Structure 1
Amino acid sequence: MKIDCIIVDDEPLAIKLLENHISKIEELRLVGTAGNALEAYKLTKLKTVDLIFLDIQMPDLTGIDFLKSLKNKPKTIFTTAYREFAVEGFELEAVDYILKPITFDRFFKAVERVLRHDSDYVKEDFLMLKSNGLQYKINLKSILFFESQGNNVKVVLKNEKPLIVKYKLSDLENDLSSLGFVRIHRSFIVNSKEINALGNTELIIENFSVPVGRSYKSNYEELKRKHSI
């Protein structure tokens, strides 16, 4: 399912850049642009809007005041050159707050938050992950485990080469804990449905041995209890 979005910004070049970024992400569908908050208000009445890319400093009405005025607020990613409005932006439950100039990497990271927390994302059982400049749609059933590697995470897959992605293991843990993924070590999250064997200090997934950390022993015991392995 597509996420219908609009861009609200009084700078034509900023709109152009965001249009280009949006065009690279299959799940996003741009349904309109607005040069100020009043035009944006009209758009929200004419179109179904799931996500707004919203500038803050605009003529007549700021992006923050515009968002406050909406009764049913779409998901919002603030796009601005001004760092000082970040706290107020997050108080309005914005998904993210991006400082200009906006690179595609930073843009994708913000959009990924929307995809990860969107209900259709969960229902369809996939992750959107970026690796080596490419965007991958990965079925959860194909994932064996995640391994933290410094500032990156290695995604180990069935019958495919692993992916190295810029990600936090803690974010994955929060998003996937209800879908059969269990953190058993500070560096590992495993797909419990793919476990072949359990030991005292390690488990086996296909031909991989994954260690169990002392701090995650309770997770491991609960895993054994639930799955009767």
Structure 2
Amino acid sequence: MINCIIVDDEPLASALLENHISKIDHLKLVGKAENAIEAYKILHNQNIDLMFLDIQMPHLNGIDFLKSLSQKPKTVFTTAYRDFAIEGFELEAVDYILKPITFDRFFKAVERVLRNKTDPDEDYIIIRTNAMYRKITLPEIVYFESCGNDIKIFLHTNECLVSKTKITDLEVTLTSKGFVRIHRSFIINSHYIKAFNHHEILIDKYRIPVGRSYKKGFDVFISGLSKNKLI
């Protein structure tokens, strides 16, 4: 569970963030503040992992407030102004979000924090399916199939999920984690490979073709994967 606070003097903006936070199980809102002084009291009395911090506030702005802290929680700046973005990132902010804040944009910022808090032995992705966000550990995934504007995700439990995700985005994220793209429409989890040749792969109980333009890359991947294991 990630303890978080909202620091914002605008009631509507604060209420919107509170609503966004309530939709994510891993987040727990433990306090709200309208200015830096109130925020400091919360930080001093409670263990805070994540702070959603407005910049333009009375008495002390968000930038100067964060600079003043000796122990800084992970911080997402929430503001209506672009002018402070560079200075915000120089303070190693997790993200810098412009108001009005949509849930999709909010979630992208939070996902960075969730990934950093994850046990390194539990790699996972979070996808949106059926109007819900779902966490899937990588060992659960057998392969991905691109179908038009959707991605089908086949799990070892025989469940199939559908998400509005680009296969190219998945390729960038998963290439270093035992996954390989073997076709313009397929990315597979190499841990489930049972047999293969230059034309197709038997992965779990599925037969998947190897695309012509992906054969060389797949051969290189398999050579590294099976080094010292081929007889």
Q: TM-score range by the shorter chain?
A: 0.7 to 0.9
Deviations 1:80-130 (A, max 9, x none): 11122222222222222211111112211221222122233x444443322
Q: Are the counterparts in 2 of residues 184 and 211 from structure 1 also a CA contact under 8 Å?
A: yes
- Structure 1 position 156, deviation (Å): 2.7
- Structure 1 position 15, deviation (Å): 1.0
With over 3 angstroms needed to count, the CA separation of the structure-2 counterparts of 1:197 and 1:101, relative to structure 1, is: same
Code of the residue aligned with 2:19 in structure 1: it is N
With over 3 angstroms needed to count, the CA separation of the structure-2 counterparts of 1:53 and 1:162, relative to structure 1, is: same
Which residue is equivalent to 2:225? 223
2:42 paired with 1:43: yes
- Structure 1 position 151, deviation (Å): 7.0
What's the secondary structure of 2:59's corresponding residue?
coil
With over 3 angstroms needed to count, the CA separation of the structure-2 counterparts of 1:106 and 1:150, relative to structure 1, is: farther
Code of the residue aligned with 1:85 in structure 2: it is F
With over 3 angstroms needed to count, the CA separation of the structure-2 counterparts of 1:166 and 1:72, relative to structure 1, is: farther
**Structure possessing the higher radius of gyration over alpha carbons:** 2
What's the secondary structure of 1:129's corresponding residue?
strand
Of 175, 198, 201, the residue aligned with 1:200 is: 198
Q: When the two structures are aligned, how many residues end up with a matched partner?
A: 224
- Structure 1 position 46, deviation (Å): 0.7
Deviations 1:51-91 (A, max 9, x none): 11111111122212222222222221111111222222222
Which residue is equivalent to 1:26? 25
Q: Are the counterparts in 1 of residues 171 and 181 from structure 2 also a CA contact under 8 Å?
A: no
Code of the residue aligned with 1:145 in structure 2: it is Y
Show structure 1 runs of 4+ deviating over 6 A: none
- Root-mean-square deviation (CA, aligned residues, Å) is 2.7
What's the secondary structure of 2:60's corresponding residue?
coil
Code of the residue aligned with 1:50 in structure 2: it is D
Distance in 2 between residues matched to 1:50 and 1:27, nearest whole Å: 12
Q: Are the counterparts in 2 of residues 9 and 54 from structure 1 also a CA contact under 8 Å?
A: yes
What's the secondary structure of 1:84's corresponding residue?
coil
What's the secondary structure of 1:162's corresponding residue?
strand
2:170 paired with 1:169: yes
What's the secondary structure of 1:5's corresponding residue?
strand
Which residue is equivalent to 1:129? 127
What's the secondary structure of 1:101's corresponding residue?
coil
Q: Are the counterparts in 2 of residues 184 and 217 from structure 1 also a CA contact under 8 Å?
A: no
Q: Are the counterparts in 2 of residues 126 and 140 from structure 1 also a CA contact under 8 Å?
A: yes
Distance in 2 between residues matched to 1:63 and 1:128, nearest whole Å: 30
Q: 1:151-170 maps to which residues of 2 (within 5 A)?
A: 153-158=151-156, 159-166=158-165, 168-170=169-171
Distance in 1 between residues matched to 2:58 and 2:228, nearest whole Å: 57
Q: 1:1-229 maps to which residues of 2 (within 5 A)?
A: 2-120=1-119, 122-147=120-145, 153-158=151-156, 159-166=158-165, 168-170=169-171, 172-173=173-174, 177-178=176-177, 180-182=178-180, 188-200=186-198, 202-206=200-204, 207-211=206-210, 213=214, 214-215=216-217, 217-225=219-227
With over 3 angstroms needed to count, the CA separation of the structure-2 counterparts of 1:222 and 1:23, relative to structure 1, is: same
With over 3 angstroms needed to count, the CA separation of the structure-2 counterparts of 1:94 and 1:71, relative to structure 1, is: same
What's the secondary structure of 1:82's corresponding residue?
coil
Segments of structure 2 that go 5 or more residues without pairing to the other structure are none
TM-score where L is the length of structure 1: 0.83
With over 3 angstroms needed to count, the CA separation of the structure-2 counterparts of 1:63 and 1:208, relative to structure 1, is: farther
Distance in 2 between residues matched to 1:52 and 1:80, nearest whole Å: 13
Deviations 1:21-69 (A, max 9, x none): 1111100011111111221122111111111111111112221222222
Distance in 1 between residues matched to 2:179 and 2:221, nearest whole Å: 11
Identity %: 57
